Amino acid sequence: MKITGAAKIIGIFGDPVGHTLSPAIHNAAFERLGLPYVYVPFHVKPAELKKAIEAIRALDMPGINITIPHKERALKFLDEADEDARRIGAVNTIVNMEGRLIGYNTDGTGYLRSLREETGFKAAGKNIIIIGAGGAARSIFYAILTHKPERVVLANRTVKRARALADEFGRRFNVKIEASGAGKDALEAYSKDSHLVVNTTSLGMMGEGRLDFPLESLPENAVVSDIVYRPLKTEFIKGAEKRALKVHTGLGMLIHQGAIGFELWTGRKAPVEVMRKAALKALKGKEAV
Ligand code: ATR
């Protein structure tokens, strides 16, 4: 992009931040729409987070993305946060509204948007298994609960953590929620009548362990979803494809959480396919290294 006097900086605060695909995704979108924005990664250490957030206002930046490990702490340095972000207890997107910093969490809604776009899946009335009970699970669990599913099983290696999250959100929604271990045996019975299973852990990512799930017990019309996108197709997804189940990979959530942020910052509809192409290109470049 040609930097003129109209240029504005948007970016991402993280520690580490070098792995992020967001600059590739957003800069491609800004360029396509001819917007005078440039998206930059900022390596912000936890001790500097407050000052970095204050700089959004001082430098008149339209907004910022927040990533690991700042998503929870960033909340307390904002002027406001939308209800979903407050309930989830984490923000991934900040919008600068004429000097007021407003926090949003677009992870869960981005996840559901991409799931629907790619597979047609709607959560209402469905039985769903969520594997994991960490930060990513919180956003996805919350977004799913707002769509009135029939039953959600939160399955986590540490059952206590799944139970705590199930109790916390269970009070707010009239949905049957069960906490479970994440072992194959524990999940066999739930799998038989589940319509969606989503992995929200890092299992299956390059260099991590593998996810052991009883794919063979799922009904034929089940959707298998993974938020991991490195590799693009995890063993979990490949196993589901072998069974000819519908699959949803992690790239979609990455694109759509960004697309919602893009729309909040610019007021323009995000060019989702341009963003997807840019992410794939950046990902391939990195995988080759
Ligand atoms: P994130 O914000 O990416 O979700 P997190 O809050 O650290 O990260 O949560 C990581 C999730 O992956 C947790 O559900 C974790 O299970 P525990 O609560 O039992 O730790 C899960 N996880 C990570 N490594 C795992 C492994 N090797 N086996 C099973 N679950 C794992």
Ligand 1 pocket, Cβ-based, cut-off 6 angstroms: 132-137, 156-158, 161, 182, 200-203, 209
Output the residue whose Cα is nearest ligand 1's atom 18.
Answer: 158
The catalytically annotated residue of 2, 8, 45, 71 is: 71
Each residue's pLDDT tens digit, 187-238: 999 999 999 999 999 999 988 999 999 999 999 999 999 999 999 999 999 9
Pick from 8, 228, 209, 195: nearest CA to 96: 8
Distance CA 287, CA 272 (A): 22
Cα(180) to centroid of ligand 1, in Å? 14
- Residue 284: how many CA atoms within 13 Å on its side-chain side? 6
pLDDT band at 286 (very low <50, low <70, confident <90, very high): low
Q: Which residues are within 8 A (CB) of 4 and not within 5 positions of it... i.e. 6 or more apart?
A: 36
* pTM (two decimals): 0.96
Is 71 annotated as catalytic?
yes
Tokens coding 258: 């960004």
Closest ligand 1 atom, CA of 136? 4
Closest ligand 1 atom, CA of 157? 19
| pLDDT exceeds cutoff 50 at 117 | yes
> Ligand 1, from 68, 157, 161: best to mutate by most atoms within 8 Å of Cβ?
157
Each residue's pLDDT tens digit, 2-41: 899 999 999 999 999 999 999 999 999 999 999 999 999 9
Q: Are strands 100-104 and 93-97 parallel, antiparallel or unpaired?
A: antiparallel
